[in-house]
Amino acid sequence: MTRYFGIATLVAALFLTTSASLGQDVMKVASDSHKVLLENARVRVLDVRLKPGEKTAMHSHPASVVYFLTDAKFKYTSPDGKTQEGEGKAGTSIWRGPVTHTVQNVGTTEAHLIQTELKGEDK
């Protein structure tokens, strides 16, 4: 019985640790680069600024709209280690489904954007 309890405890601890590290709220792990401009029951609006080379910790967002205030070039890394690069052009918007990732500014200038997260959407 003791061995079973020990294994079950270990599995539960690993699951909780993994879940917490993969699904962290961006404001808990990247508050230096993300500022809440507005939050209510339906949305959270974030002012995001990443310096060249700056990288966030792993975090999650619900579905959201991103509006680029500057041109930006990013490298995204998913929890499984896969990477992809993306660009945003100043004055344009994109729709993003729910996502868990790290983000690195791989451009040569500060990236500045407004991200509107939709609450109640699938995470």
CATH of residue 110's domain is 2.60.120.10
- Whether 35 is in a domain gets the answer yes
- Whether 40 is in a domain gets the answer yes
Total domains in the fold of the chain: 1
Helix (H, G, I), strand (E, B) or coil at 105: strand
pLDDT at 122: 52
Give every residue of the chain whose pLDDT is below 50, as ranges.
2-21, 123
pLDDT at 34: 97
User: Domain range holding 74?
Assistant: 2-118
Numbers of helices and strands, H then E, in the chain: 2, 9
- Whether 44 is in a domain gets the answer yes
Rounded distance between C-alpha atoms, residue 38 and residue 34, angstroms: 12
- Whether 123 is in a domain gets the answer no
Residue of 69, 61, 57, 44 whose CA lies nearest to 97 = 61
- Whether 73 is in a domain gets the answer yes
CB of 97 within 8 A of CB of 60? no
- Whether 68 is in a domain gets the answer yes
pLDDT at 110: 98
pLDDT at 120: 81
